[in-house]
């Protein structure tokens, strides 16, 4: 069973949650001025990445609160969860989704991982 950490209730089984799809899609401020393409894209078009996915969940059979999460869509391993309104956590480019954030950071501090590129750093929440 996939375990998901609700920011309020802690770690629970996935069946307590409902997925809410891609996060951080802002409703257009002036819908009247959108073209059909822009409006259709806002409603239907999604990133649907094979990799790091910023997404919404709701703890529907728990506290009922919405929150955001970062998950790797190949392994389904979560990098982090964060409350609505909080800044999305920084995910290093070197994280390939095969290990949890704690394991990744442990390897990083042990010096057994070489991180390059824009994501070079501690992997801590920015």
Partner 1 sequence: MTKYSIFSLIRNALSYHENWQKAWRSPDPKPEYDVVIVGGGGHGLATAYYLAKECGITNIAVIEKGWLGGGNTGRNTTIVRSNYLWDESAALYDHSVKLWETMSQDLNYNVMFSQRGLLHLAHNVHDMQEIGRRGHAIYLNGIDSEFLSPAQVKEMVPFINLNCRYPVMGALLQRRGGTARHDAVAWGYARACDEMGVDIIQNCEVKGFKIDAGVVRGVETSRGFIGAKKVGVVTAGHSSVMAEMAGFRMPLESFPLQAFVSEPLKPAIDVVVMSNAIHAYISQSDKGELVIGGSGDPYISYSQRGSFDQIEHVAGPVVELYPIFSRVRMMRQWGGITDVTVDRSPIITKTPVENLYFNCGWGTGGFKATPGSGRVFAHSLANGEMHPIAAPFAMDRFYSGALIDEAAAAAVAH
Residue ranges binding partner 1 (CB under 8 A) = 1-2, 13-15, 18-19, 21-22, 36-37, 39-41, 43-50, 53, 55, 73-76
Q: Where are the alpha helices (DSSP H) in the chain?
A: 36-44, 101-109
Q: 57 or 108, CB closer to partner 1?
A: 57
C-beta of 93: minimal distance to partner 1 in Å? 16
C-beta of 108: minimal distance to partner 1 in Å? 25
∠ at Cα 49 (48, 55), nearest 5°? 70
C-beta of 73: minimal distance to partner 1 in Å? 5
Q: 30 or 50, CB closer to partner 1?
A: 50
Q: 31 or 121, CB closer to partner 1?
A: 31
Backbone angles phi, psi at 102, to 5 degrees: -60, -45
Q: 15 or 84, CB closer to partner 1?
A: 15
End-to-end CA distance of the chain: 29
Q: Is 121 left (phi over 0), alpha (psi -120 to 50) or beta?
A: left
């Amino acid at each position: 069973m996939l375990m998901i950490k609700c920011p309020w209730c802690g770690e629970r089984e996935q069946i307590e949650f409902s997925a809410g799809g891609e996060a951080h899609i802002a409703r257009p401020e002036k819908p009247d001025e959108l073209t059909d393409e822009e409006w259709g894209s806002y409603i239907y078009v999604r990133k649907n990445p094979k990799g790091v996915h910023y997404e919404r969940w709701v703890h529907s059979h728990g506290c009922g609160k919405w929150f955001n999460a970062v998950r790797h869509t190949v392994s389904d391993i979560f990098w982090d969860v964060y409350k609505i309104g909080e800044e999305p956590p920084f995910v290093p480019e070197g994280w390939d989704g095969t290990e949890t954030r704690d394991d990744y950071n442990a390897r990083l501090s042990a010096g057994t991982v070489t991180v390059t590129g824009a994501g070079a750093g501690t992997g801590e929440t920015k």
